[in-house]
Every structure is written in C-alpha cells, then in structure tokens.
Amino acid sequence: MTIYWRPSGPIPASFWPRTPVPTAMPSARSSPWPKYSTNLAARPTSSSPTPYPPPTALCRTSAGSTTPSANDVDPTGTTPAILLECDSIIRTGLLGLEGRTLINIDHHASGRPFASVNWIDEHACAVAAMVYHIAVAANVEITPSMASCLYAGILSDTGTFTYSSTTADTFAMAHHLAACGANPSRIARDIYLSNPASKIRLLGIALSNLQCDDDLAWTWVTSEDMDRIGAIAEDCEGVVNYLISIAGVQSAVFLREVANADQFRLSIRSKGETDVARIAERFGGGGHRNASGCTLDGPLPVALERILTQLRTGL
Ligand SMILES: [Mn+2]
C-alpha cells in the first residue's frame, strides 16, 4: 500500500515550539524571549567533541570499499528504513532496501512517491525542517546533538538562509534549535571553513574553465583533472554557486565528467524565472526550481550544446 501525503496549507500550530518566538528585541528588564530548559553548560563548544558525525564519515568512501548495505545493520530485512532527500532507492547508494517498508521524506519538486509512506513537501526549506516538525509533533526532547544535526541541515539546505524557501518559520526553527544546544558558529565553521585542499584546487580548475555568454555561465572539470589533484565527486559540490553569483548571470551549469562512463553529471542553478527543475527532469534528473541536477551523455561539447540550448530557450 502506498500512502502519498502532500500536505497543503500552513504547518499546524501544534508543530511549533511551545512558546511563540517574539518579534521584538528583548529588553534588559523583562525578556520576551522564550525560556528553554536547555542546560547551557551542555552546549557544544569549540573544544568539545563534534556533536555530529564528521562529513568524512558520511561522504567519503575509500577506493575499493564495498557498497554499504542496509543488511549490514539489519540482516533480517524487516526493519523499516527512512530515506531522506531521495527520489528512488538507487539514489541512496545503499543495497538491501528492496522489500523493506520504506518511508520517504523529501522536499524536491521532482520527488517521487516510490516508498510505502511518502511525505513530499516541496515548500519545506529543508528535509531537516520536516524531521524537526516530526520531532516536535512527537514531543521528542531535542538534545544538543539532534539540534546540531537539524540546524546543520537547515543551514546548508537553505543556502545559508538565502533561498526563496527561507521564511520567518525557518528562523523560528533555527532559533529553537540554537536554544536546544546547536552552536551556530561552530556548525558554520565545520561546514564552510573545513574544506579539503582538493576541493579548493578543483574550484581553481573549474573557475579557470569559466565561460559566460549573455546571462548564462558554465564550466566543467574532467575526470583526468580530478585524478590529477586527488579530488572526489563531493569536492564538486558548490562549484556552480560561484557561477550563479556573477552579476547578470541568470542561469549557470557545472559539468563533472563521470569516470569511465563518457557521461557528465550536471549541477544547474538559476536566479531568474527559468525553472531548472523542469529542465533537469527533461534529461531524467530533478531538483528545485532554482537548483537541480541531471546526467548527460558525453562527449563534453555534445552535453554542453544540449543543456545550453535548453537554458537559452527556457525549455
Ligand atoms: Mn534538500
């Protein structure tokens, strides 16, 4: 049985923290800010252990490692699995999910109801925000570790609170999570000031290939480039944001050659009316209106011609 829940309308009030977030600044004498029972001493500090798994533990798999499987955790295959931000089982990169009860939580416009239970809210600023709502609705006490993970998810998925999905509700969540022990400056440092050198070298290569035409910008890296500097696929994340940051550029695309496949992985961004989710969907990909991705067959000039034609015509 497939339950497909796409909520409409505002978030129920019961999902919100118990005290409304005030809009006025606190006065010295009577603070209008909500009082939280959080133990401030328990908040992570710069010298305390990382409150969440390091990115390296989650993203980087060494060459020759085997594909992780859900059966490594539960060999019986009976434990349900919750999948975040995935439009299919394949997207998880995990084996052993077939036949399990799957719960799919996603906020992509191109999200698909492939699981047993599907909660897809394209208006949610982050999947971490959706998880937050579940935690609040379930009356879970949000520990500093949980708050740190949720805050990190919201921070990164809103483009550091800059995407159009960022609303007053986003800041209310951020406020609550900080009060629950998330450390904003530490999390920002761990996300934005902890790049491996290979990522910055790869950025240098990508920016040196930069092409601009009218309101389009594009660039690429080859798998040979990546091998030469020891870069991995994750090092390509965010490159396209430098392109869309150029004044006057309305659409941007970054192409990463997939090793041994004669294919290119595309990251597409827009800041105008161009709906890049629909363009990516046309090529079998998906994403958001202003941020999407897809894969195209090479060689590079052919892939470039196809995507640039689509971006120029708007569809
Ligand atoms: Mn997301």
DSSP letters, 46-77, are TTSPPSS--HHHHH---TTPPPPBGGGT-TTS
Contacts of residue 150, Cβ cutoff 8 Å, sequence gap at least 6: 128, 129, 131, 132, 135, 142, 173, 177, 182
Distance (Å) from CA 246 to ligand 1 centroid: 23
CATH architecture assigned to 197-313: Roll (3.10)
Distance in Å, CA 129 to ligand 1 centroid: 10
Identify the band that residue 58 occupies on the pLDDT scale cut at 50, 70 and 90: very low
* C-alpha 188 – ligand 1 centre gap (Å): 17
What is the domain partition of the chain in residue ranges? 3-65+123-192, 197-313
Taking only the tens place, the pLDDT of each residue in 246-278 is 999 999 999 999 999 999 999 999 997 889 999
Please tell me the predicted confidence (pLDDT) of residue 51: 54
Query: How sure is the predictor about 65, in pLDDT bands with cuts at 50, 70 and 90?
Result: low
Give mean pLDDT, residues 16-25: 41
pLDDT at residue 67, as a whole number: 83
Residue 71 CA, ligand 1 centroid: distance in Å: 26
Distance 108 CA to ligand 1 centre (A): 7
Residue 12 has pLDDT above 90, yes or no: no
**Span from the CA of 177 to the centroid of ligand 1 (angstroms):** 18
Tell whether the model's pLDDT for residue 102 goes beyond 70.
yes
Residue 73 alpha carbon to ligand 1 centre in Å: 25
Computed over every residue of the chain, the mean pLDDT equals 83
| Edge-to-edge order in the sheet of strand 291-297 | 211-213, 216-221, 251-258, 263-270, 291-297, 286-287
Q: Please report the pLDDT score of residue 83 as a whole number.
A: 96
